[in-house]
A and B are shown apart, each in its own frame.
Chain A
Amino acid sequence: MALSCHGAIDKIKGEVDFTFALAGNPNVGKSTLFNQLTGMGVMTANYPGKTVELNIATTTFENHRIGIIDLPGTYAIGGVSEDQWVARQAVIDGDPDVVIVMVDATNLARNLYIVLQFLDLGFPLVLALNLIDQAEKKGLTTNAEQLALLLGVPVVPTVATRGQGLDALMKTAVKVAKNRGSQPAHGTRYDEDTEQLIRELEAGVNAANNGFPHNLSSRALSILLLERDDEFLNAAAKSAEGRELMAQADRLSARIEEMHGKPSPVSLARERYGLAGVITSEVQTLSRRETPLSEKLWRSTTAPFSGLVILAAVLTGLFAFLFFVGSFLSNQFTHIWSLTASPVIDGVIRFVAGTGVVAHTLNWGFDAGIMATLGVGIPYVLTFYFLLAILEDTGYLNSVAFLTDRIMHKFGLHGRAIIPLVAGAGCSVPAIIGTRVLTTERERVVASTLITLVPCSARTAVIIGALAFVGGWQPAAAIFAIVLVLIVAVGMALNSILPNQPGGLVMEMFPFRMPSLLSITKKTWYRFKHFITAAMPIVFVGSIVLGAAYETGYIWKLSAPMAPIVEGWLGLPAVAGLTLLFAVLRKELALQLLVTLAVVKYGPEAKNLLKFMTADQLFVYALFNTIYIPCVATIAILARELSWKKAVGISTFTVLLATFVGGIVMRVLTLF
């Protein structure tokens, strides 16, 4: 359930003895730690207008009930990116008793940066020094006691994937939480000049300390203002004293810039890095330099030649898995459903509503509708999520992004978009949810639109099924070629139409890590649950509406208004148009319905579609079915991931595109 952050944090805080926040860089093992500490009852929450989510859960340790807020993995906390903002806002709102910062022992200096920022903000900290096993493989040993001494906070070495050190970590955190307030504030020490300016501004902050949204120390506020933090500068600008303070902060920032020749935020970042570097060199020793196997393997996935070969293999594997395994599972599921669930549902409906039109209509919703959701959900969505989680957690996704960035750039996308695009060949629904790996709304809109055009396995089945009547593989290949051209053209067009150019790619790359099965399973399950709750109601209602149209015979009345487009422009029989309407429910329904309705209208020999449609018509039919609105489940997921407005916009666009291309192709075909 998605809650607002304020509500979710308040709810948890009311129920527990202590609240811990988990912070740290991305990929340090934070989510593994979170999953180890907590059970299945996880709430996700987000701030209004933000897509970055917080996971919140409770756990019990030594008879204390503890609420855990899992912050998004970030390199820093601040206002410059959405994840950093959410991380900072959540600690400020949540006011945790302890912030557990997990740091990567293999890259200590960079990881200490965020630790120093938390010290600036004045939170009680406990450091989890994670990945010490990986660091040892690289020949790095870390003196945890000395690190604790230098930072003034407890440090606990851990190997989160194996659960090592977690008990000690929790014990330490509880101890710190119990003594909250007695821990001496041990902030970052900047160089003397900067410290002097911070102190000068602190006096101003103390004089004007009203109007700031949060209970931060004057030192914390001074540093934020000197870092030119927009949020706090804007907060200051609201009052007269605040504006005076702002002018003072401007002056002092200019002094820093003059002294160090760099803008003050960069200058402060530099000092923190300087300090982080000094601390690291004092507590870590490198005994030998050796490249571990995982790193060698990783390098081969980013090298131009071997990287592209591996990528082609992985994408083919992903496609084949979704296509073959997915459709096999889907068939099995449909078969089992029709043997087990269908008769039961049918019986209940018969008992409640009899056998009239109403009962038949209800059957569309409860039987066909629910089956359609699960029939897509279990075979395709669940398997895709599982594969995606593996790609994410091993770190391979980043190699993919690196390799394909240049090509994807033509569409205004980053390299990461290749995974959802290829996944679209299996099923559009998980692919669209997969666009969450993209960082901007713009990218998600472009990628989602393109995904709706990628023929999913259901549409491929129609292409192959319909064109089997025509014979030969060439017509099917022609459809895929047309669609590919359309995807490229639409992608490039969208990129030039949509405002704002894509921002530059900055992405951390890290050698492969062994993923933990627990966190992959949990991730898969949460995403699957989201899918079911989003898609089920819409598919259900859609099924009832279409079912009612069919059962009342109202459907035949729809052929007249559709005639100018279906018969006039596309040159298809009216019956074909009606089936396209129904295929919105499930794309593979198009062909089954075409046969059913044709038999109703033309008699049994119409089972062979060529008896009433030409080869050209079948071609246009399959092409149209491929391009126009994917299906109800896809529309539902577009609405959930983007907005209803965008979902309707994308759907309308695909209908227009399909109509346009279908009509043109029909006219070109008649030339031959």
Chain B
Amino acid sequence: MSSQAVEEYLEALYKLSESGPVRQARLAEHLGLSQTAAAAMVKKLISLQLAERDEAAYINLTKRGTKAALETIRKHRLSERFLTDILGLPWEKAHEEACKLEHVISPEVEDGLDRLLNNPKSCPHGHPIPDKQGVVTTLPTRPLSDLGADEKGVIARVSEDDPEMLKYLATLGLMPDVEIVVEEIGPFNGPLLVQIGAARYALGRDLAERIMVKESA
């Protein structure tokens, strides 16, 4: 297994674990691998002490593994910024190109990019760029339900517990990176009246608790 593949897997494992513990099957699905290929890969990561399997059969990154994953993510996102900001590539294209660059960038080039781009905090898609020590400074998010009348924010994520609801909300335009303005709070701590573009919705409080927002840019 090449070091490039290891980096890819670490990156995938890290991203998946952001939304909860990861099972081998989910990893295989995410990477489009067969179960056997995924098993072999997990075995390899464990032998390299980059990952471990806990009692519940979840796969967790070790400290070393996390650091390596964040290093790759940092290179990927710095490359993306470089490709979009300096070279003017479209976002989607930038992602693809950055997937290749992330594996060949040396620490010197990485530092150079960081200086050139003025130490950017996030990639073009809004995801945070880990710093040199592997520390991720995420923009603080809070549930939409914490916002008061006349406050606004940008949807950071919607809880994925209920995929059908997630799909439904997306068809209404309630999805990440969309600006949302709270116009009114229903009486007795009731639902929220929100505005998205030209549309207005009443959102139940329970639902608003599952929508995380960050500060508007």
Contacts and interface: CB of A to CB of B under 8 A. Distances in A.
A266 B197 contact: no
Given A80-B164, A193-B96, A505-B204, A266 B186 contact: no
B191 A193 contact: no
Interface size class of A (residues with CB under 8 A): 35 or more
Interface string A239-281: 0000000000011001101111111011001100100010000
Interface stretch (B64-72, B109-117, B170-178): B170-178
B187 A110 contact: no
Contacts of B204: 405, 409, 414, 504-506
A307 interface: yes
Contacts of B125: 260-261
Chain B interface size band reads 35 or more
A62 interface: no
A401 B217 CA distance: 33
Interface stretch (B28-36, B42-50, B53-61, B81-89): B28-36
Interface in A210-258: 227-228, 250-251, 254-255, 257-258
B198 A107 contact: yes
A290 interface: no
A468 interface: no
Interface string B17-36: 00000000000011110000
Given A255-B32, A401-B202, A506 B169 contact: yes
Contacts of B167: 78, 80, 227-228, 265-266, 269
A107 B127 CA distance: 30
Interface SS majority for chain B: mixed
A663 B164 CA distance: 49
Interface in B77-120: 90, 92-93, 95-96
A319 B109 CA distance: 76
Given A398-B202, A402-B202, A302 B191 contact: no
A507 B169 CA distance: 11
B191 A505 contact: yes
Contacts of B184: 299, 302-304
Interface string B195-217: 00111111111110010000000
A506 B203 CA distance: 5
A302 B194 CA distance: 12
A257 B170 CA distance: 15
B140 to A, nearest CB: 19
Contact of A405 (B15, B186, B201): B186
Q: Which 10 A-B pairs have the closest CB atoms?
A: A504-B207, A505-B204, A269-B170, A76-B171, A406-B190, A251-B32, A504-B204, A107-B198, A406-B188, A509-B200
Given A258-B30, A415-B191, 18 more contacts: A75-B172, A78-B171, A84-B171, A109-B198, A191-B90, A254-B31, A262-B176, A263-B160, A266-B176, A299-B184, A304-B187, A405-B186, A405-B191, A414-B204, A504-B206, A505-B203, A506-B207, A509-B201
